[in-house]
Structure 1
């Protein structure tokens, strides 16, 4: 039975209260996800929880709260916050409009599979999983669920931007990082020129304007090098899953152990999923939309890494998510890295 508006609002209040509780335990070192007045934040969350295309925003905000909760030093307080987080997450994922709704699985392909991936990774380094994905393949849902199963931090475009700002890595509030798929909706459909393209076609006058501000780098380059430094610094301190950001190439270049995964699906499954999560798209628009996104993502990745985005040679594992579905893909990865037994113990 569908949740009522009152029940969804109550859930939004619980999310807001959890954020406040985590902040109380941590103090001002990390700040709050929701730092405006309660009524406004609760109303905005209620709207997000009832709107499928905005699911990634709720996921990012929940992920950021969980990331901070895991840093609480007192074990009892940390356990209490994480228990409440898990309860809220399960409730959010049960909503008809949840980011967990829908799948990308192809039942015919699914019948052909068996899990026979060997346990390749066992060392004392932090567990870092870099996920590249094509939009519509369910990659974001896989990354988020995988982080939750492993009880490690999750970083997507929205969370990463927030971390950068908190560390004052961005010198200008107008900087936008176009390496991920955050905010893929009407804005992108109506204005397909990415920040990356805008910068690469910047006029000489604009280049001169930003020269001194970014030490001779354009804005996009400044963001890329700031995020590269942050990724390497994070890799020394914590386990995490990171979506995009060219993290696989950055970590490889710095000799930091990690697992690199590429997730995609046949174009028809991707088109169907894009239609489901983006209102106003028909099949023709969705196909054009996906091709344009793939081209932009490849352009960015290839430019900054010298590699070819989506080339199997660059990844430890390439997965057709249509063969397994979102949950099946999560289980596949857990088996590959030898964490499926840990997952069963925690459930």
Structure 2
């Protein structure tokens, strides 16, 4: 497959991370999740440990200024926005590389929305499916705990993008993993991209 940039946004506990990993193997490329935070933290040179940067990566400041679409606007952002800004720079820079890449979260669908080689997907699932995965895959997390983390991501996304989290108009396709395997979901994404390019 020619160079392809895929963004995966996902409801917490829906299997989106695993789908990104499956796509990484199928496309023989890299996927970027917390790696984006690590790269951004390294660029900031502010003494914050990688673990602390990751822990704070979904924090949203109370106010922001500037235009996120242009590098000139980055410097006008308030201090608390520096991590988001640096993550956006990392995503834009990775997208310029000649190889395919998969981006998991981090508002990548919004940051890369004007590129023609980007396909964006939203992965979601029903509560029963997520509750079961919480027990098996997330160290026994309850649905309430999953929803708490989900809400943090929703607030982060909506704060920085001005878009509604999970709005179908923001994505090429939304996939409900409740009734299909994650392998099937990954294959569906690849089939959709191939169809669009045929």
| C-alpha distance in 2 between matches for 1:317 and 1:178 | 29
Paired residues of 1:179 and 1:245 also in contact (CA < 8 A):
no
Alignment correspondent of 1:225: 85
| C-alpha distance in 2 between matches for 1:164 and 1:216 | 16
Counterpart selection for 1:153 from 15, 21, 30: 30
Q: For structure 1, which runs of at least 5 residues remain unmatched after alignment?
A: 1-121, 181-193, 202-213, 340-347
Question: How much has 1:179 moved relative to structure 2?
Answer: 8.4
Q: Deviations over 1:15-61 (max 9, x none)?
A: xxxxxxxxxxxxxxxxxxxxxxxxxxxxxxxxxxxxxxxxxxxxxxx
> Which structure shows the bigger proportion of residues in helix conformation?
1
Alignment correspondent of 1:236: 96
Q: Is the aligned partner of 1:324 residue 2:185?
A: no
Alignment correspondent of 1:256: 115
Q: Is the aligned partner of 1:295 residue 2:151?
A: yes
| C-alpha distance in 1 between matches for 2:20 and 2:45 | 25
Q: Is the aligned partner of 1:143 residue 2:143?
A: no
| C-alpha distance in 1 between matches for 2:77 and 2:36 | 24
Q: Is the aligned partner of 1:131 residue 2:8?
A: yes
Question: How much has 1:256 moved relative to structure 2?
Answer: 1.7
Q: 1:320 to 1:146 in 2, by over 3 A?
A: same
Alignment correspondent of 1:15: none
Q: Is the aligned partner of 1:200 residue 2:62?
A: yes
| C-alpha distance in 2 between matches for 1:334 and 1:179 | 33
TM-score (norm 2): 0.81
Q: Name the structure, 1 or 2, with higher relative contact order (CA <8 Å, separation 6+).
A: 2
| C-alpha distance in 2 between matches for 1:234 and 1:300 | 22
Q: For structure 2, which runs of at least 5 residues remain unmatched after alignment?
A: 64-74
Alignment correspondent of 2:72: none
Counterpart selection for 1:334 from 161, 168, 190: 190
Alignment correspondent of 1:84: none
Paired residues of 1:179 and 1:297 also in contact (CA < 8 A):
no
Counterpart selection for 2:166 from 287, 304, 310: 310
Q: Residues 24-173 of structure 1 correspond to what in structure 2 (within 5 A)?
A: 126-157=3-34, 159-166=35-42, 168-173=43-48
| C-alpha distance in 1 between matches for 2:171 and 2:17 | 17
Q: Deviations over 1:204-245 (max 9, x none)?
A: xxxxxxxxxx876233x1011111112111111131000001
| C-alpha distance in 2 between matches for 1:156 and 1:131 | 10
Q: How many residues align?
A: 180
Q: Report runs of 4+ in structure 1 exceeding 4 Å deviation.
A: 177-180
Paired residues of 2:125 and 2:176 also in contact (CA < 8 A):
yes
Alignment correspondent of 1:245: 106
Alignment correspondent of 2:70: none
Q: What is the alpha-carbon root mean square deviation over aligned residues?
A: 2.5
Q: Is the aligned partner of 1:273 residue 2:138?
A: no
What is the DSSP-based 3-state SS (H/G/I as helix, E as strand, rest coil) of the residue aligned with 2:189?
A: helix
Alignment correspondent of 1:95: none
